[in-house]
Structure 1
Amino acid sequence: MKTFPMGGVHPSENKLSCGKPVEVLPLPETVMIPLAQHIGAPAVAKVAKGDKVLTGQLIAEAGSFMSANIHSPVSGTVAAVDMQPNGQGLRQMMITIKREGDEWAEGIDRSETLVKECSLSAEQIIAKIKDAGIVGMGGATFPTHVKLSVPPGKKADALIINGVECEPYLTSDHRTMLEHGEELLVGVSILMKAIGVDRAFIGIENNKPDAIAHLSKLVKEYHGVEVVPLKVRYPQGGEKQLIAAVTGRQVPPPPALPIDVGAVVCNASTTLAVYYAVQKNKPLIERVVTITGKSVKEPKNLLTRMGTPIQSLIDAAGGLPADAGKVINGGPMMGRAMVNLASPVTKGCSGITVLSGRDAVRREASQCIKCAKCVAACPMGLEPYYLSKMTQKKNWDELEAQMITSCIECGCCQSTCPSYLPLLDWIRLGKQSVMGIIRQRAAAAAPKK
């Protein structure tokens, strides 16, 4: 069975909510919508305090080509456009809306009727995706219209749909594939048309046999689309790892992108959002979020409007367990610990994981024993212990030479370290510093206007 060739680990899956059908979370009284919930420039607010808005109405416009539109997830009155703390306690610009019913903007088809035929051109499809504010919903939040805009001189020959969901605990993509298989496959055909390819692969790890069987049955009606079962191995959901697993092609180090080997990768939930945007004129205002954890009373998959407070999801799953030690936005491998549960669900939020007891406690670090387990586990062929050491020494030139920007922040190194060293924390810091230096260098070299 196919998988990627280098590194990787096998963390406990803990897919506690995989058998739980998606439930619709009741609408909150107030939502907060961050203007920066995607890679690139923050969106620019188009509303002010006191304005009335409808569900699905544009409230913030993309700040540049590498940005994304934002739409109101509820109808009501704008209460504020100001700085608010996010999940990590950092203040960022948000639009706060007090809900008053749920009146939708005109032109959005809310019916459940499947619409298969799409007569739009590739350019029109990409324009609708851009208008709808769709970004990568697996966590990366890369604006989808940018990904689909193949640069001059490049050519895609394969679309890969990421249904891997290798992060422990999370099951939102799994339930999406099971409950919206037909809509997802129409989304696949739309994406194929947008980038001009006649082949598409849906990669799914074999711990989801029901999703593999379901889509394998449906896909018979869709020419050129194939379901590819994959061996369970983390982090197979990484773009480069998934491309290698499905096609055998290796994406070169940065600045190379998947398109350099002819591939475009889209997450399963993103693909469903594309269907709704193109066929139903529905912007990205809601998503499925997994709320889970060993001590969570009722792990669930909840269809949630953007801007909903994280606390509301936890309450819907039975409340915060008494022994909760850490709440993570995402999963335990790549997620970020939260300090503010009043912070909102965003486009890239696929799950909330509550860790308890020993799982929530970071072990005390000891001296590196030079075992090289972190090197063997790295799916990018890096030397995590060395990158960590060079970050602590602030040796930015060496870090750049050692390709720290290739790190996908999967956490394999840290999870395998017998000395419990905070390798990922140091590498994230080093990567951010080096990328900042690279941006400054590029800005200085750019021609003056």
Structure 2
Amino acid sequence: MLKTFSLGGIHPPENKFSAGQKIESMPIPSQVTIPVGQHIGAPAAAVVKKGDTVKVGTLLAKAAGFVSANIHSPVSGTVFKIDKVADASGLKKESIIINVEGDEWEESIDRSSDLVTEINMAPQDIVKRIADCGIVGLGGATFPAHVKLSVPTGKTCDVLILNAVECEPYLTSDHQLMMEKGEEIMVGTSILMAALKVDRAVIGIENNKKDAIDHLTNLASKYPGIQIEALKVQYPQGGEKQLIDACIKRQIPSGKLPIEVGAVVQNVGTTFAVYEAVQKNKPLFERIVTVTGKSVSKPSNFLARVGTPISQLIDQAGGLPADTEKVIGGGPMMGKAIVSTDAPITKGSSGILIVKGEEAKREKMQPCIKCSKCISVCPMGLEPYLLMTVSQKAIWDRAEEEQIMDCIECGSCSYTCPSTRPLLDYIRLGKGKVGQIMRSRTK
């Protein structure tokens, strides 16, 4: 029997229309917009100014703290200006705008496609290189990778877990990456194992990717300590706590991190970026993005430079369909609506989902019928109907008491609610407020 996590979960239609579509490199745009905050934590601080000449891989903004990440140029050209520009959510954020001139790379980057398997760096040097290259989690959370690899004093890690689940409907970028860059992922896994000083790694892949499971299983036979684990198709298996439960049956206590149970989790896309950083000295300035939807004429997986306008990727996939009602950044479960397709691709852009008219409309909210479906599907064992109610009524102490901060915002509750209640919307509101209250206590 295939493994999965022990609590809750759903199985929405997969709609993997772009599965099997080879990764296609996007043309380089004439101008790119690079936000300095593309990660969880403090935004990076710009180290270039208007008029500066940059190459591909030039440092544009330096990490402004431990939980922060460097930002590098994805293009060569001239810094046009540094200004506040609206991101995909419509919020204006400091960004570096570069006019593109050619495609000249920093000489320190190894641009060859040759596989480099030998790992010559000490663990601390691996972590430093990952930090220097601005590697963040590419599964969507964009947590700086070097922070996860810096195990706190008093804690120990005995297993690395790779998230190759890609449980969000529609998205296929990780799947295609595994098929085309499997060997590099194996080396990247070995690099992460060396950085953590562990001799065991588990790569969790859902069973709807049998070709990837077979491919990586075959490759893993040459790499000591790496195990491929086929998992039952169950959303949200890509959540860290759910993946750890599924792969090694360890439960993370409320409010704690994976390191509490001796595990570190990294995304498979992040692992490939780690390979490129450590073995090729290549910073993170491009990533694979799925562009898809039921009406999209050419669902695709694109390798796009950070800063490329979302509209250009949509055009490359056949253009915006006439029946489009909404464009979502990410997948349908955890993604967010995009305000303008002029916004740029960032390190966290896993997908662009184009939604048809009738599917984008919300039904009118009805009274709760006390069916408890939201409770049964919650992978964190919470009571979403109650968390929505206390958030509506601003009963923040009760919201904290009911562990609202444990919500992973997977959307399973809203998906399954027969009364179409916006459970997650209110829970997000409550999390934001309770988080502010909790932080104020530590000041």
* Alpha-carbon distance in structure 1 between the residues aligned to 2:9 and 2:314: 31
* Alpha-carbon distance in structure 1 between the residues aligned to 2:97 and 2:221: 45
Q: SS where residue 68 of structure 2 aligns? A: coil
Matched, 1:304 2:342: no
Q: Which residue of 2 aligns with 1:183?
A: 184
Alignment of 1:164-313 (within 5 A): 164-254=165-255, 256-313=256-313
* Alpha-carbon distance in structure 2 between the residues aligned to 1:420 and 1:216: 42
Alignment of 1:241-390 (within 5 A): 241-254=242-255, 256-390=256-390
Matched, 1:136 2:137: yes
* Alpha-carbon distance in structure 1 between the residues aligned to 2:234 and 2:21: 23
* Alpha-carbon distance in structure 2 between the residues aligned to 1:53 and 1:438: 42
Q: Which residue identity lines up with residue 388 of structure 1 in the other structure?
A: M
Q: Which residue of 2 aligns with 1:446?
A: none
* Alpha-carbon distance in structure 2 between the residues aligned to 1:167 and 1:436: 29
Q: Which residue of 2 aligns with 1:395?
A: 395
Q: Which residue of 1 aligns with 2:13?
A: 12
* Alpha-carbon distance in structure 1 between the residues aligned to 2:216 and 2:330: 25
Q: What are the superposed Cα offsets for residues 264-302 of structure 1, whole Å, 9 maximum, x if unpaired?
A: 000000000000000000000000000000000100000
8 Å contact 2:297–2:318 — kept in the other structure? yes
Q: Which residue identity lines up with residue 388 of structure 2 in the other structure?
A: S
* Alpha-carbon distance in structure 2 between the residues aligned to 1:418 and 1:337: 23
Matched, 1:151 2:152: yes
Q: Which residue of 2 aligns with 1:440?
A: 440
Q: What are the superposed Cα offsets for residues 15-42 of structure 1, whole Å, 9 maximum, x if unpaired?
A: 0001101000000111111111100000
Q: Which residue of 2 aligns with 1:80?
A: 81
Q: Which residue identity lines up with residue 57 of structure 1 in the other structure?
A: T
Q: SS where residue 442 of structure 2 aligns? A: helix
Structure 1 length-normalised TM = 0.98
8 Å contact 2:326–2:357 — kept in the other structure? no
Deviation at 1:442, TM superposition (A): 1.1
Deviation at 1:333, TM superposition (A): 0.2
* Alpha-carbon distance in structure 1 between the residues aligned to 2:17 and 2:84: 36
* Alpha-carbon distance in structure 2 between the residues aligned to 1:322 and 1:436: 42
Q: Which residue identity lines up with residue 422 of structure 2 in the other structure?
A: P
Deviation at 1:357, TM superposition (A): 2.9
Deviation at 1:49, TM superposition (A): 1.1
* Alpha-carbon distance in structure 2 between the residues aligned to 1:426 and 1:54: 45
Q: Which residue identity lines up with residue 100 of structure 2 in the other structure?
A: R
Q: Which residue identity lines up with residue 442 of structure 1 in the other structure?
A: T
* Alpha-carbon distance in structure 1 between the residues aligned to 2:179 and 2:436: 41
Q: SS where residue 287 of structure 1 aligns? A: strand
* Alpha-carbon distance in structure 2 between the residues aligned to 1:279 and 1:162: 21
Q: What are the superposed Cα offsets for residues 366-393 of structure 1, whole Å, 9 maximum, x if unpaired?
A: 1111111001110000010110111111
Any gaps of 5 or more consecutive residues in structure 2?
A: none
* Alpha-carbon distance in structure 1 between the residues aligned to 2:312 and 2:437: 40
* Alpha-carbon distance in structure 2 between the residues aligned to 1:133 and 1:276: 12
Q: How many residues align?
A: 442
Deviation at 1:79, TM superposition (A): 0.9
Q: SS where residue 221 of structure 1 aligns? A: coil
8 Å contact 2:9–2:236 — kept in the other structure? yes
Q: Select between 215-224 and 352-361 the one with higher mean Cα deviation.
A: 352-361
* Alpha-carbon distance in structure 2 between the residues aligned to 1:243 and 1:204: 12
* Alpha-carbon distance in structure 1 between the residues aligned to 2:95 and 2:222: 44
* Alpha-carbon distance in structure 1 between the residues aligned to 2:306 and 2:244: 30
Q: Which residue of 2 aligns with 1:420?
A: 420
Q: Which residue identity lines up with residue 278 of structure 2 in the other structure?
A: V
* Alpha-carbon distance in structure 2 between the residues aligned to 1:436 and 1:283: 34
Q: SS where residue 358 of structure 2 aligns? A: helix
Q: What are the superposed Cα offsets for residues 195-238 of structure 1, whole Å, 9 maximum, x if unpaired?
A: 01000000000000000000010000000100000000000000
* Aligned-residue CA RMSD (Å): 0.6
Q: Which residue identity lines up with residue 303 of structure 1 in the other structure?
A: L
Q: SS where residue 95 of structure 2 aligns? A: strand
* Alpha-carbon distance in structure 2 between the residues aligned to 1:58 and 1:437: 36
* Alpha-carbon distance in structure 2 between the residues aligned to 1:370 and 1:9: 19
Q: Which residue of 2 aligns with 1:447?
A: none
Q: SS where residue 250 of structure 1 aligns? A: coil
Q: Which residue identity lines up with residue 105 of structure 1 in the other structure?
A: E
Q: Which residue identity lines up with residue 248 of structure 2 in the other structure?
A: T
Deviation at 1:436, TM superposition (A): 1.3
* Alpha-carbon distance in structure 1 between the residues aligned to 2:282 and 2:83: 27
Deviation at 1:358, TM superposition (A): 2.2
Q: Which residue identity lines up with residue 38 of structure 2 in the other structure?
A: Q
* Alpha-carbon distance in structure 2 between the residues aligned to 1:260 and 1:144: 17
Q: Which residue of 1 aligns with 2:111?
A: 110
Q: Which residue identity lines up with residue 263 of structure 2 in the other structure?
A: A
* Alpha-carbon distance in structure 1 between the residues aligned to 2:120 and 2:74: 28
* Alpha-carbon distance in structure 1 between the residues aligned to 2:241 and 2:263: 10
* Alpha-carbon distance in structure 1 between the residues aligned to 2:307 and 2:94: 13
Q: SS where residue 116 of structure 1 aligns? A: coil
Q: SS where residue 174 of structure 2 aligns? A: helix
Any gaps of 5 or more consecutive residues in structure 1?
A: 444-449
Q: SS where residue 340 of structure 1 aligns? A: coil
* Alpha-carbon distance in structure 2 between the residues aligned to 1:429 and 1:340: 23
Q: Which residue identity lines up with residue 283 of structure 1 in the other structure?
A: P
* Alpha-carbon distance in structure 1 between the residues aligned to 2:39 and 2:432: 17
8 Å contact 2:229–2:247 — kept in the other structure? yes
Deviation at 1:106, TM superposition (A): 1.9
Deviation at 1:261, TM superposition (A): 0.2
